[in-house]
Amino acid sequence: MKTKHYLYRSALFCGILLLFACSKSSDGPGKELESQYQIDVYVAGYAHNGSKGVAIYWKNGTAVDLTDGSGSASASDIVVDGDDIYIAGNEYNGSRYVAKYWKNGTAVSLPGGNNFAQANAIAVYNGDVHVAGYTTESASSLDVATYWKNGVITKLTGGSRHAYALDVAVNAGDVYIVGYENNSQNIHVATYWKNGTAVSIPLTDGGKYAYAQGVTVDRGHVYIAGDERLQSIVGRGVVMYWKDEAEAVVWGDGTTIDRTTAIFVSGDDVYIGGQSNNNPLSRGVATYWKNGVAVQLSEEPSYINSIFVMDDDVYAAGYEYQGEVRIATYWKNDERVHLSDGVNDGNAASIVVTKTLIK
């Protein structure tokens, strides 16, 4: 996942507003003060308007369009920083896709990518806006892992091989970007970069296809989630995570097709969201792992893109198929909510949950 702030992010939409009593204290005979918390759940993603994708975020069930539907667009990540909402994604401008982020609904276009650009993840720290993604300069060139800080572009790779930055987290001024980069055999190598320097740090040896999909920092420790394909790019695989560059912790034995997308750490518990599949000829189902134990959220073909934990409640955002239509979906524990209309494709890409004290 991606947590930022009590930047609560990572990934789910709830569509409901929860008010509940948290604590009570006596204030003299017959008088009781009651404190309450408001839970707000934000989800970023897209929904098709029939022909084009519209970048959207939902707050407590209400959709807010970020684009007007004239050009295809999508939202890929969301962060809430105080009263400000930041969302990363991209939008087609008539000739190419432009990487963007939106602050409180106002779009900021990011430089680079004369052919294509995608903003995959966003983090905000001390007022600085950090965005990770990739750019392509021409139709014949390779994709380059790219990082922007306050709109200033840094290319993390040289463009000699395909590379992608998929997530970003910031802690104590250090910036961690994760993704993958092809090696000389065109095998994907799980990779991370630190502080925007164009020095790729491999997490796997390149013998198998591997991906670093999510990063978070908890109590000073850096957690990176990924997966490794044991047979081929589409073959069976295992979920794994790295803590502070130590050897990977592997969940699974490779008998299923497991895919990772996001990570969240709560206390001593590690949650990883993604998908699991027993049959390579069929679609998998939305699954998250808590400390290595798999929890399946759907019987239908589905996927988790983001995961978030609040007060022991597990929120997961992604999509679920209804026939051949992909529906933007979130789950709170085992309760499912469809966000898009079920007529046109949609997707919930990221979730963030905030908790505000009400007196």
Q: How far apart are CA 61 and CA 17, in angstroms?
A: 9
Pairing assessment for the beta strands 335-338 and 53-59 based on DSSP bridges: unpaired
Which value, in Å, is the radius of gyration of the alpha carbons in the chain?
A: 20
**CB-based contacts of 70, cutoff 8 Å, min separation 6:** 52
218-233 in b/e form (b: 16+ CB < 10 A) is beeebbbbbbbbbeee
What's the pTM?
Answer: 0.90
Q: How far is CA 32 from CA 73, 97, 250, 348, 356, in A?
A: 51, 57, 50, 41, 20
Rounded to the nearest integer, the mean pLDDT of the chain is 90
- Could you tell me if 198 and 163 are in contact, meaning their C-beta atoms sit under 8 angstroms apart? no
In a 13 Å sphere around the CA of 259, the CA atoms on its Cβ side amount to: 19
- In the chain, the percentage of residues whose pLDDT exceeds 70 is 90
Taking residues 5-13, what's their average pLDDT?
36
Is residue 329 predicted with pLDDT exceeding 90? yes
pLDDT at residue 17, rounded to an integer? 31
Is residue 213 predicted with pLDDT exceeding 70? yes
Of the listed ranges 20-34, 154-168, 247-261, 303-317, the least confidently predicted one is: 20-34
Number of other residues whose CB lies within 10 A of the CB of residue 201:
13
Q: What domains can be seen in the chain, in order of their start residue?
A: 63-315 (2.120.10.10)
Is residue 34 predicted with pLDDT exceeding 90? no
Burial-class residue 126 by CB neighbours within 10 Å (0-12, 13-18, 19+): exposed
Tokens standing for 187?
């095998």
Tokens standing for 210?
């591997």
Higher pLDDT, 4 or 133: 133
Taking residues 123-146, what's their average pLDDT?
97
Is residue 20 predicted with pLDDT exceeding 90? no
Q: How far apart are CA 319 and CA 286, in angstroms?
A: 8
Q: How far apart are CA 107 and CA 100, in angstroms?
A: 7
In a 13 Å sphere around the CA of 209, the CA atoms on its Cβ side amount to: 13
Q: How far apart are CA 41 and CA 339, in angstroms?
A: 13
- Could you tell me if 178 and 214 are in contact, meaning their C-beta atoms sit under 8 angstroms apart? yes
Is residue 187 predicted with pLDDT exceeding 60? yes
pLDDT confidence band for 235 (50 / 70 / 90): confident
pLDDT at residue 16, rounded to an integer? 31
> Dihedral angle at the C-alpha atoms of 48, 123, 153, 120, nearest 10 degrees?
-30
Q: How far apart are CA 301 and CA 298, in angstroms?
A: 7
pLDDT at residue 35, rounded to an integer? 63
Determine the residue type at 33.
Answer: L
For 66-125, the pLDDT digits (tens) are 999 999 999 999 999 999 999 999 999 999 999 999 999 999 999 999 999 999 999 999
pLDDT at residue 234, rounded to an integer? 75
pLDDT at residue 281, rounded to an integer? 64
